Structure 1
Amino acid sequence: MRKISQVYDIESPRQIKDLTIDELTQLCSDIRAFLIDSISKTGGHLSSNLGIVEVTVAMHYVFDSPKDKMIFDVGHQCYTHKILTGRSTQFATLRKKGGLSGYQKRSESKYDCWEAGHSSTSLSAALGYAIARDLKQEDYNVIALIGDGSLTGGMALEALNDIGSKQKKMVIIFNDNNMSISKNYSGVEKRITDIRASHLYIDLKHDVKNNLKSNKLGSNVLSTLSHFRDKIKDGVIDAPLFKEFNLNYMGPVDGHDIQSLIKVFEAAKEHDGPIVVHVLTQKGKGYKYAQQDKVGKWHGVSPFDVATGKSLSLLPPNEISWSQVISNTVMDLAEKDKTIVAITPAMAQGSKLLEFQKHFPDRFFDCGIAEQHAVTMACAMALGGLKPFVSIYSSFLQRAYDQVNHDMARMNVGVVIGIDRCGLVGDDGETHQGVFDIAMLRSVPNLILSQPKDAKEAQNMIYTAFESKKPFCIRYPRGNALYAKNKSYSLIPIGSWEKFVVGTPTQIVITYGPDVDHVINKARENKMGLLVVNARFFKPIDEVMMKDLLKMDLSITVYETDVKIGGLSSAILEYINTLDEKIHIIGIEDHYVCHGSIRSLRIQEGISTECLFEELEKHG
């Protein structure tokens, strides 16, 4: 077997199985140095990957991928897994088009058995694999690695409940680094904190580690582990948390001690039924700037200087991120209106709401990885007389569709949702592209959906949204905008579009967001006569302007940077179709349908068979 002399020599996880503990420890050090150097050039997820180098090496040492199924929750912390499965030579292409994905990707490697990108899915996936294995009478291990942040997600807790019920054989590695992207604020986090602070754990930690190191594999290790495990279970862990889910437990274990990790994983591998292995790790380990980070700055990074920790991506003068534009505006309005509150599902750093939290700690609410809960809680806040602003990435808003529909729009409550990272986000790939929210939300009654073209319009749009006291969604992209603080806010008529004339128009372009100015500037450069429309509302659309545009009898191009199906062009074509007598549509209009018998409701909504044939006779 080829000897490992450097990280680039690793072609398969089989190569590490004959290494000594000292050699494995050195390998972990080499991988950590490789990650820091490589990510400093390409950007990527740094802290989370530095934190689980030893854990991942121990996983591959004990288990046999790809036969055994290794599932990484979220997936952004799988870089060491990629290195150990022969992909280190591709790291220069990380997150680039055609290059290495920043997440597990099934088409990329036989070692990637699951794809994620959103948190809290690993436990459900692990149970699914375990059920499939047993029904097919196959023989392999299922290992799910999940962090303390992801464990606050409702889906993870649902899965734990089912895993405890079904008692399928699997290993759950609970990566406890006390440092999710945003500070945890949940009851689960409180219980985990109690574990960390327990006197019993502090007293036993040294003894557990020594016993692990001194015993041989086999019955002695299992007996010793069980002895300490039972003490910790009864006094620390199982009583407040895992016992409630009927799960066995091992740990806590030093997540940077490769020898201890291997021995505990070997023991867990032999366990019948589900077992939780609790590992304590340090996020950002090995790089001082990441280790010192307390707010998630080093979670995902652009290229940076290793020596100084300074980003190599500098913003142009007078530009700030779109997230900061929105946050600044909400904060400014909150100074004048004490009923404005801000809510985030564990993305305070990314959504630039930490400053809001600093200024208004009693009016800031981070509810953990719980988008559904965040939206419903905001709805009740609104009904209680507050003006909630909920910041959610477009990709994550999909998880709260039911709450936006049933709780926010159906009850017609005044919640403002900031849809951050809309449109293409680039590096993070399929799971993070924010191109579906327009199509997802446009069919929801009562909802207002908009996107400003620049920072000035964004500030007025936020002001309009709060003043409307209606379900209002404002989307804004990743990237930056030229910013000057608004000295005087003005209302934007809901559903209104804007026209910009370049030269003598021979065509019409309808677009939205920053692309409005991009199209105007490009037309001026090319000396092309265009009428450019800022379609800043997707719902409702500006039907008055649309009629005027159609009367001009010019070629119309709808330029949208999100999915076409259900997007702006669909809204426009649907409207145009109402003006064309050749095609007649029968269906439920843009409202919620009340209760009643199906027969009476079909008549009420004009969708009964009788209604159909009445229409056919009119047009026959």
Structure 2
Amino acid sequence: MDDLRILDAINSPDDLKVLDNEELAILAAEIRQEIVATTAVTGGHVASSLGAVDIIVALESLLDMPRDRVVFDVGHQAYAHKLLTGRREAFRTLRAYGGISGFTKPSESPFDAHPSGHASDSLSVATGLAKARQLKGTNEKVVALIGDASLAGGMAFEALNYMGNEQLPLVVILNDNEMSISRNVGALMKHLGNIRANSHYREAREGLQAAMEQGGPAARGLLGFGKNMKESLKQMVIPHTMIYESLGIVCTAPVDGHNIAELRDILSLVLEMDGPALVHVVTRKGEGYEPARRDPESFHGTGPYDIATGTSLKAPAKHPTYTEVFGQAMVDEAVRDGDVVAITAAMTGGTGLKALAAEFSDRFVDVGIAEEQAVGMASGLAAGGKKPVVALYSTFMQRAVDQLIIDCALPDANVVFALDRAGLVGDDGPTHHGVFDMVYMRMVPNVRMLAPSDEAELVHALHTALALEGPVALRYPRGAAEGAPLPEAPQVLEVGKARTVREGDDVALLAFGRMVGQAREAAELLAAQGIQARVVDMRWVKPLDEEAIAAAAATRLVVTVEEGVVAGGAGEGVLEVLARQGATVPAITLGIPDRFIPQGPVSQLFADLGLDGEGIAKTVRETLA
């Protein structure tokens, strides 16, 4: 009997309705235990999910789901939601190959309203759902759960402005935990800090509410003041903190995000409103698991760990990661050149910039979750004579393509784009695979792009990008590098020049980035069968080395291999060059097909896609046969 849990009896949010507040609190503790037990094996976004458990339990106990809709921002805090919506048994497969996603995913469950993964879009999606409700004349509830860091994104501000202007029936739960991937920055964070620190507004408003509830002349007089009285109260107590209500959105005072009774009380009230409301909930990342409480940044996204200590169980890497190599190369470049400035968007540690931020704090900028601001600001820094390096994950650079085109490429600004986690990233799946950057960089005039094949090439690529005029991008993958010795001094690479790393006359393998390693493996397998493959490290995605391509056309078969989408990618660029040259050699483009790729170990995904050495060799053998 001691092993019985409330959680084991929960198959949908409807089952929460028979539980009282005390039982819901017990359930929340059980959910935290399940999250820790699972992520200790699978890894995952631990701290954020633990912090949001009480909000999700309280909210879903009040809703009629899936008719009522909950839109999660980013979605990596939705583990409790998955456990409450029929995925308890499948939860042990979290982020695993063939298992359930680490984010909300409508194709996985009717309880998931939105395929989340990128920050700041939940409010826009929720406004669409609320507008649809208005147009249909129905009364389902629409709720968006967004973190304080995501709320600083420009898209969230646009949605707030719209929902307030249109008075949409929509509840926004602001999960204020004072942390994003890196510590939050900006005026909005200071604004939220002021609200957290100032108890006078809450006390005064609660006193006003109590007086009104008591009835009598005092209450009638207060009711007569109506909105004017409320506005006066705001002005008297915290005149600088009413940004949301100035947009037409009713905003609650801060609520304890780990008190289920208090959460249910306030949510019950706002869910009955006909207009927009924002519930300000203060939580702690990692709540219920002390190692995550102590170090929420490490537990933002982690691999397997020891439950007792929180220590990572990941085996030490034989080689430094590409991110670590880039971070040290940035410090070295900053030492050499006082004009180098690093910019990131709430991912200081994730892009390897912690050392630079510590040593050159005046030349480091973290704009928060605002990639458009990062790229736009970089163009201004370049115009001011500096050499900005915008370090972002490839998947998040997608958010700033317009600023890339208009603010950087059009004026031919000296901006470097360092795209970490380019290609397949593994467990986080399709929202985080960085497979589109070669396409959108290739399509923009004035932009040049490098795809280093190992850590030494990465050091050279960064140095080259900073030495050139105009916008230059470099892309490199997540994880351990190849083990190439690092150069004592970086070199400026010749623009548009590839390098041949293996000779062969039967087939030419033109590879980009870390696909060079897979092409080398394929060449070894082919050589054992009497097929001699030339392997060319193309180095440059744009401009392409047309001489190397012409030389490849002298073989029996040209195969391009890239870790990006084939449609519009580097391989198609090679085909364009072959067509202009009038080559008649057969050519094949290998890369990411026209579909989204699920989560899973990168090696497994490469095998599935035919992008590992065996897959490339098989394609060559079958084509030549």
TM-score for the superposition, normalised by structure 2: 0.86
Q: Match for residue 555 of structure 1?
A: 557
Per-residue CA deviation, residues 408-428 of structure 1 (Å, 9 max, x unaligned), is: 111111111001111111211
Task: Single out whichever of 182-191 and 355-364 deviates more from structure 2.
Answer: 182-191
Q: CA deviation at 1:231?
A: 8.9
Answer yes or no: is the 8 Å Cα contact 2:414–2:471 preserved in 1.
yes
**Cα distance in 2 for residues equivalent to 1:231 and 1:270:** 26
Q: Which residue identity is paired with 1:488?
A: A
- The reply to whether residue 574 of structure 1 matches residue 576 of structure 2 is yes
The change in CA–CA distance for 1:351 and 1:204 in structure 2 (over 3 A counts) is: farther
Q: Which residue identity is paired with 1:193?
A: G
Q: Match for residue 438 of structure 1?
A: 438
Q: Which residue identity is paired with 2:312?
A: S
**Cα distance in 2 for residues equivalent to 1:58 and 1:369:** 28
Task: Return the match for 1:531 from 517, 530, 534.
Answer: 534
Q: Which residue identity is paired with 1:324?
A: E
Q: CA deviation at 1:199?
A: 4.7
Q: Match for residue 497 of structure 1?
A: 498
The change in CA–CA distance for 1:565 and 1:434 in structure 2 (over 3 A counts) is: same
Q: Match for residue 404 of structure 1?
A: 404
Q: Which residue identity is paired with 1:478?
A: R
Per-residue CA deviation, residues 50-108 of structure 1 (Å, 9 max, x unaligned), is: 00111000001112111111111111111101111111110111112221111111111
Match runs of 1:190-209 below 5 Å = 190-200=190-200
Answer yes or no: is the 8 Å Cα contact 1:176–1:279 preserved in 2.
yes
The change in CA–CA distance for 1:359 and 1:239 in structure 2 (over 3 A counts) is: closer
Per-residue CA deviation, residues 547-568 of structure 1 (Å, 9 max, x unaligned), is: 2222x23311112221111112
Answer yes or no: is the 8 Å Cα contact 2:422–2:476 preserved in 1.
yes
Match runs of 1:365-444 below 5 Å = 365-444=365-444
Answer yes or no: is the 8 Å Cα contact 1:229–1:251 preserved in 2.
no
The change in CA–CA distance for 1:230 and 1:44 in structure 2 (over 3 A counts) is: farther
Match runs of 1:18-167 below 5 Å = 18-167=18-167
The change in CA–CA distance for 1:201 and 1:486 in structure 2 (over 3 A counts) is: farther
Q: Match for residue 541 of structure 1?
A: 544
Match runs of 1:458-497 below 5 Å = 458-481=458-481, 482=483, 484-497=485-498
Q: CA deviation at 1:204?
A: 6.9
Q: CA deviation at 1:251?
A: 2.3
Answer yes or no: is the 8 Å Cα contact 1:229–1:249 preserved in 2.
no
Match runs of 1:182-193 below 5 Å = 182-193=182-193
The change in CA–CA distance for 1:12 and 1:120 in structure 2 (over 3 A counts) is: same
Moved segments of 4+, more than 4 Å: 201-205, 226-234
Q: Match for residue 268 of structure 2?
A: 266
Answer yes or no: is the 8 Å Cα contact 2:523–2:534 preserved in 1.
no
Q: CA deviation at 1:183?
A: 1.5
Q: CA deviation at 1:185?
A: 1.7
Per-residue CA deviation, residues 539-591 of structure 1 (Å, 9 max, x unaligned), is: 000012222222x2331111222111111211011111112399xxxxxxxxx
**Cα distance in 2 for residues equivalent to 1:111 and 1:410:** 44
Match runs of 1:140-289 below 5 Å = 140-200=140-200, 233-234=234-235, 235-236=237-238, 239-289=241-291
**Cα distance in 1 for residues equivalent to 2:510 and 2:166:** 54
Q: Match for residue 303 of structure 1?
A: 304
Number of aligned positions between the proteins: 564
Q: CA deviation at 1:315?
A: 3.1
Q: Match for residue 518 of structure 2?
A: 518
Task: Single out whichever of 516-525 and 430-439 deviates more from structure 2.
Answer: 516-525
Q: Which residue identity is paired with 1:560?
A: E
Structure 2: which 5+ runs fail to align? Answer: 585-625
Task: Single out whichever of 361-370 and 176-185 deviates more from structure 2.
Answer: 176-185
Q: Which residue identity is paired with 2:379?
A: C
Answer yes or no: is the 8 Å Cα contact 1:127–1:163 preserved in 2.
yes
**Cα distance in 2 for residues equivalent to 1:396 and 1:12:** 33
**Cα distance in 1 for residues equivalent to 2:555 and 2:36:** 58
Task: Single out whichever of 493-502 and 162-171 deviates more from structure 2.
Answer: 493-502
Answer yes or no: is the 8 Å Cα contact 1:129–1:142 preserved in 2.
yes
**Cα distance in 2 for residues equivalent to 1:312 and 1:581:** 52
The change in CA–CA distance for 1:237 and 1:269 in structure 2 (over 3 A counts) is: farther
Q: Which residue identity is paired with 2:477?
A: P
CA RMSD of aligned residues (A): 2.5
Answer yes or no: is the 8 Å Cα contact 1:421–1:478 preserved in 2.
yes
Answer yes or no: is the 8 Å Cα contact 1:195–1:237 preserved in 2.
no
Answer yes or no: is the 8 Å Cα contact 1:448–1:539 preserved in 2.
yes
**Cα distance in 1 for residues equivalent to 2:521 and 2:546:** 26
The change in CA–CA distance for 1:333 and 1:581 in structure 2 (over 3 A counts) is: closer
**Cα distance in 1 for residues equivalent to 2:233 and 2:179:** 23
Answer yes or no: is the 8 Å Cα contact 2:395–2:434 preserved in 1.
yes
**Cα distance in 2 for residues equivalent to 1:231 and 1:98:** 57
SS of the residue aligned with 1:518? helix
**Cα distance in 1 for residues equivalent to 2:557 and 2:568:** 22
Task: Return the match for 1:565 from 567, 573, 576.
Answer: 567
**Cα distance in 1 for residues equivalent to 2:164 and 2:88:** 37
Task: Return the match for 2:295 from 289, 293, 312.
Answer: 293
**Cα distance in 1 for residues equivalent to 2:50 and 2:239:** 26
Q: Which residue identity is paired with 1:524?
A: E
Q: CA deviation at 1:505?
A: 3.8
**Cα distance in 1 for residues equivalent to 2:152 and 2:489:** 41
TM-score for the superposition, normalised by structure 1: 0.87
Q: CA deviation at 1:522?
A: 4.6
SS of the residue aligned with 1:510? strand
Answer yes or no: is the 8 Å Cα contact 1:390–1:418 preserved in 2.
yes
Answer yes or no: is the 8 Å Cα contact 1:120–1:146 preserved in 2.
yes
Q: CA deviation at 1:470?
A: 2.1
Q: Which residue identity is paired with 2:278?
A: V
Answer yes or no: is the 8 Å Cα contact 1:389–1:418 preserved in 2.
yes
Answer yes or no: is the 8 Å Cα contact 1:163–1:274 preserved in 2.
yes
State the percentage of identical aligned residues. Answer: 38
The change in CA–CA distance for 1:485 and 1:511 in structure 2 (over 3 A counts) is: closer
**Cα distance in 2 for residues equivalent to 1:536 and 1:8:** 54
Q: Match for residue 316 of structure 1?
A: 317
Answer yes or no: is the 8 Å Cα contact 1:4–1:15 preserved in 2.
no
Answer yes or no: is the 8 Å Cα contact 2:508–2:555 preserved in 1.
no
**Cα distance in 2 for residues equivalent to 1:287 and 1:483:** 40
Q: Which residue identity is paired with 1:44?
A: G
**Cα distance in 2 for residues equivalent to 1:157 and 1:286:** 32
Q: Which residue identity is paired with 2:494?
A: P
Answer yes or no: is the 8 Å Cα contact 2:82–2:91 preserved in 1.
no
**Cα distance in 2 for residues equivalent to 1:553 and 1:177:** 59
**Cα distance in 2 for residues equivalent to 1:542 and 1:169:** 56
**Cα distance in 2 for residues equivalent to 1:251 and 1:241:** 13
Answer yes or no: is the 8 Å Cα contact 2:59–2:267 preserved in 1.
yes
Task: Single out whichever of 468-477 and 478-487 deviates more from structure 2.
Answer: 478-487
Q: CA deviation at 1:316?
A: 2.6
The change in CA–CA distance for 1:577 and 1:51 in structure 2 (over 3 A counts) is: same
Q: Which residue identity is paired with 1:497?
A: A
**Cα distance in 1 for residues equivalent to 2:355 and 2:295:** 16
